[in-house]
Amino acid sequence: MTSDGIDADAADSRFRALTRRPGKIIAVHLNYASRADQRGRRPAHPSYFLKPSSSVAATGGTVERPAGTELLAFEGEIALVIGDPAHRVDSGSAWDHVAWVTAADDLGLYDLRANDKGSNLRSKGRDGFTPLGPVLIDARTVDPATLRVRTWLNGEIVQEDTTAGLLFPLPQLVADLSQHLTLETGDVILTGTPAGSSVAAPGDVIEVEVDVPGGPRTGRLVTTVVAGDGGFDPGLGSLPSTDDAQREDAWGSRAAAGLPPVGPTLSPALRAKLEQVPVAALSQQLRRRGLDDVTIDGVRPMHPDRKLIGTARTLRFVPLREDLFAVHGGGYNAQKRAFDAVGAGEVVVIEARGETGSGTLGDILALRAHARGAAGIVTDGGVRDHDAVAAVGIPVYTAGAHPAVLGRKHVPWDLDVTIGCGGTTVQPGDIIVGDADGVIVVPPALAEEVVDAALAQEAEDAWIAARVAEGNPIEGLFPMNAAWRARYDGERR
């Protein structure tokens, strides 16, 4: 400790904005309503992860985007620096233990996020990934409910929110953490980021500032992104990997990531029509329009009495290769991300290449899809825990049951891409309809036309069936000749 009360560690330029090197840095996963709504979920309670103090950087520095990665995301945040240690304090007194407030940028590599789901060690713990500063605001001089955070990317403001938009107020975070561990002098709490977090590339300049509008301010925390030279050794651990789901999360939306929309949702009116139309009738109408290869072959329903209607969310498996499974098969892999991402009214459609020598899902994933409100699951591979999956109640179409786990035959590879399932091409957003006859894929652009034509054909077939039941011969009636057609049209009018 120096004579002016500054710890000697602060002589390291990384810590020049702080009074000492922090013993621990604790970050909140999700805390702004704007960010939660963007992600489509609002947590009931705060959750946290740790960042190493070696990740701290000072203003005016650079941060490397490692070679072989593309998704370095910035997150402007309010950082709290603990003064007096806090252990089992309540919300009413928690702010008294905060000495300073400053700006932070919680940088992270989405390319590595899937490998460290929740812990964020590799994705957010690299050197330079926690810029802090440049000025400490005395916490005694501010109301924690009136703070504002803003972020600029290349001079354009991209994030702005206040602590009025928090799901969990700042004193609550301090109190909550203190009931689990002792917050020590110099510890830093990163309190979450609002909507607007996105991706930065080499050459981009990120600036973050925290203030009380019209009052004290931290000044701008400036970080410049540079291209890193070093890559990753595949013999040591997980390698970076990306897919469209990670790109969407990193950029904030599919549009911002340059991705096409997943597809239109079904209107209630179209869904109601589809409820009335059997798959056989849809197949007939699609064939009349030149689409013959739109049935997902080789799959059978686990619930033949349940109709399946929804839009496709796709998941692709590639054949097992042990070195690739070591990288892509564990952790928060594409399979788990697909079942976490499926939305209400959507169908998880899995490309398993017709390989039935292992399961492609089990009861846990079926439960997750059901809890998310998914319309169903279609896989041209096997299902593990067959009876337990059936008991969940969600419509599932599969090529059969198999007791083996995924890694016997498959590597989970990517999601929300065009796939082949049961001999037909399926794109995200395609309309999937299934009944006891099987599953068919309906292109959204043709859906209204095809459904209306199928309903009309169903009405005609029902009328013909009634005539046959009356004792009339099929000849001339099915299909109808001119005389029968005239009678049908007259009755319809």
Q: Partners of 61 in the beta sheet?
A: 223
Cross-strand pairs, 480: 477
Q: Are 163 and 32 in contact (CB under 8 A)?
A: no
- Annotated binding-site residue? 419: no
Render 448-481 in DSSP notation, one character per residue.
Answer: HHHHHHHHHHHHHHHHHHHHHHTT--STTBTTB-
* Residue 193 contacts residue 166 (beta carbons within 8 Å): no
Q: Is 362 annotated as a binding residue?
A: yes
**How far is it, in rounded angstroms, from Cα 396 to Cα 362?**
11
Q: Is-contact 27 190, C-beta < 8 A? A: yes
- Rounded distance, CA 488 to CA 492, Å? 6
Query: Residue 365 corresponds to which tokens in the numbers above?
Result: 């994933």
Phi and psi, residue 269, nearest 5°: -65, -45
Q: How many CB atoms lie within 10 A of CB 417?
A: 17
- The answer to whether the CB of 139 falls within 8 A of the CB of 166 is no
Tokens 């959750």, located at residue: 47
| 384 known member of a binding site | yes
Residue pair 78/191 in contact (Cβ under 8 Å)? The answer is: yes
Cβ-based neighbours of 161, under 8 Å, separated by 6 or more: 32, 34, 148, 149, 194, 195
Q: How far is CA 379 from the centre of its chain?
A: 21
385 is in an annotated binding site: yes
Cα-only R_g, the chain: 29
Strand partners, 377: 348, 396
The residue among 178, 185, 164, 193 whose CA lies nearest residue 79 is: 193
363 annotated to a ligand binding site: yes
What's the Cα-to-Cα distance from 317 to each of 321, 323, 365, rounded to whole Å? Answer: 11, 15, 15
Please provide the distance, in angstroms rounded to a whole number, between the alpha carbons at the two ends of the chain: 96
Angular region, 192: left φ>0, alpha ψ -120 to 50, beta rest: left
Annotated binding site for Mg(2+), which residues? Answer: 385
Annotated binding site, which residues? Answer: 362-365, 384-385
Annotated binding site for substrate, which residues? Answer: 362-365, 384
